[in-house]
Amino acid sequence: MMPQQSVLEKILIWALCALLFCIPGSQWLSTRVLIVVLAISLFAGRYNFQLLFYRAWDVGFYLLVLLAGLIYTANLDLGLRVLETSFSLLAVPFIFSKIPVIDDKLFNRLYLSFALGLVAAGIVALSNAFYQYSTTHEINVFFFYNLTQIIDSHPTYFAYYLIFALTVVLYKLYYETPVVSVAISVCLAIFFFIVLTLTGGSTAFISLLLILSFFILKYTLENTTRNKKVVLLLVCFMLVILFVMNSADYWYEQLALQSDYWERSELWKSAILANSNPLIGVGTGDYTSVLNEYYRAHGLSEFAESSYNSHNQFTQVYLSNGLIGLLAIILISGRPLYLALRDRFPFGILIFFPIVIYGMNEVILGRFQGVIFFVLMHQLLIAYYGSADQFAALKAGQN
């Protein structure tokens, strides 16, 4: 049970809910709401620096590595913009340090705020796509960048939002602790899945396949209930659709329509070989110029013209900040997974593992959308099962 909250602490929770609602639909608005939430947190009691250190020491190490990379970068302006993009890595842990316990009730409240924002963003995107189709009769208005352009969102990040929301709905429904009623949970799951098939790609397919496989395996090992049967039917329906689309080369063809397909292995290789200083990298602000120079020198001028990054968070950090940066990104990505594995808590694995998969195909911390969602999930999960007593209660509810 959460301790008695002051008026300002309650306002902070409401402001955090507003932030989560805004994230899927507006990068511009969510950036400004984050600043407001941080300002409110300044007055909502004293900071618990011991709790802050426990929850965010790995985040702090990553920020220090980025900051140190400014010392030897030639492009200080770009380096400072990288730190500006990473502002939420600093702000969110300070906000969460004012929330000592994330119990199940608060988690559901925060999740529902995000889910409602995601539904609203999805409705806006689909409504615009239908309108565009009515005037152009071009089917590609329903896919990828064309679909999410109206909400100024990158389809890759929007797809991960959907995977997260879908995972929580299925998990809560399976263990008979749904955030909303069973009927609404089913409707949400179907809606998130439909929009996901329009915004996702092969990375989304792999991530979702692993998540859906978990529920099938759990169903075969546990006693069945009505809710578990409902989840199994939903999972089977989604798997059939995914395999039909994959066998028909659905995502490849749609990516080709969007002119957004390239050999990512070549990009990864380029980022690794372009690093002239394996220990500390080329500098926080120099990765773009160094990588473009490598492209031109090795006959990859089309990559240089589009100024492609490495499309891999780990190779990107290795290029800019070397092995030290690679260690930092491994720590910040692996810690929530390690804690979940250590405590045998599948919920944390299901939520956070897809973002690691995305990190192998995208520079997830290269945009505000990716940074804020990454650190929110990081802090939320660590706070959610950070207490041994609280975690024991959560595990008991699964058995």
pLDDT tens, residue by residue, 40-81: 999 887 777 888 999 999 999 999 999 999 999 999 999 999
Q: Hey, how many other C-beta atoms are within 10 angstroms of the C-beta on 14?
A: 14
Structure tokens given for 388:
């041994």
Same structural domain, 93 and 121: no
Same structural domain, 303 and 185: no
Same structural domain, 203 and 304: no
Domain range spanning residue 394?
Answer: 49-100+263-399
Average pLDDT over residues 162-185: 92
Task: Note the maximum CA span of the chain.
Answer: 64
Residue after which a domain boundary falls, among 244, 261, 278: 261
292 is a domain residue: yes
105 is a domain residue: no
- CA-to-CA distance for 290 and 168, rounded, in angstroms? 41
Same structural domain, 165 and 224: yes
148 is a domain residue: yes
- pLDDT score recorded for residue 3: 53
- CA-to-CA distance for 273 and 275, rounded, in angstroms? 5
308 is a domain residue: yes
106 is a domain residue: no
pLDDT, tens only, 237-250: 999 988 877 665 55
Q: Do 320 and 284 contact (CB within 8 A), yes or no?
A: yes
Same structural domain, 59 and 90: yes
**CA dihedral over 68, 72, 73, 77, signed as positive or negative:** positive
Asked if pLDDT for residue 254 goes beyond 70, the answer is no
203 is a domain residue: yes
Q: Hey, how many other C-beta atoms are within 10 angstroms of the C-beta on 15?
A: 20
Average pLDDT over residues 133-148: 90
Average pLDDT over residues 216-239: 92
Residue scoring higher pLDDT (392 or 61)? 61
Asked if pLDDT for residue 117 goes beyond 70, the answer is yes
143 is a domain residue: yes
Same structural domain, 94 and 125: no
Q: Do 143 and 254 contact (CB within 8 A), yes or no?
A: yes
Q: Do 157 and 373 contact (CB within 8 A), yes or no?
A: yes
Average pLDDT over residues 193-205: 84
Same structural domain, 221 and 125: yes
CA 261 to chain centroid: 22
**Helices assigned H by DSSP within 248-367:** 250-257, 264-273, 287-297, 301-306, 313-342, 346-359
Same structural domain, 272 and 396: yes
Same structural domain, 193 and 244: yes
Is 318 exposed, middle or buried, given 0-12, 13-18 or 19+ CB atoms closer than 10 A?
Answer: buried
pTM of the model: 0.89
Total count of domains within the chain = 3
Q: Hey, how many other C-beta atoms are within 10 angstroms of the C-beta on 182?
A: 13
- pLDDT score recorded for residue 12: 94
For the chain, helix, strand, coil in percent to 5 are 75, 0, 25
CA-wise closest residue to 201 among 240, 282, 145:
145
Same structural domain, 94 and 165: no
Same structural domain, 350 and 366: yes
- pLDDT score recorded for residue 260: 43
Residue after which a domain boundary falls, among 261, 288, 312: 261
Q: From its phi and psi, is residue 40 left (phi > 0), alpha (psi between -120 and 50) or beta?
A: alpha
243-274 residues labelled b (16+ CB within 10 A) or e (exposed): eeeeeeebbeebbeeeeeeeeeeebbebbeeb
171 is a domain residue: yes
Within 8 A by CB and 6+ apart from 101, the residues are 2, 3, 383, 387, 390
Same structural domain, 253 and 116: yes
Average pLDDT of the residues of the chain: 87
**CA dihedral over 181, 184, 190, 192, signed as positive or negative:** negative
Q: From its phi and psi, is residue 344 left (phi > 0), alpha (psi between -120 and 50) or beta?
A: left
Is 194 exposed, middle or buried, given 0-12, 13-18 or 19+ CB atoms closer than 10 A?
Answer: middle
Worst-scoring range by mean pLDDT, 58-72, 194-208, 238-252, 314-328?
Answer: 238-252
Q: Do 157 and 370 contact (CB within 8 A), yes or no?
A: yes
- CA-to-CA distance for 326 and 136, rounded, in angstroms? 46
Residue after which a domain boundary falls, among 203, 233, 261: 261
Is 336 exposed, middle or buried, given 0-12, 13-18 or 19+ CB atoms closer than 10 A?
Answer: buried
Residue scoring higher pLDDT (361 or 253)? 361
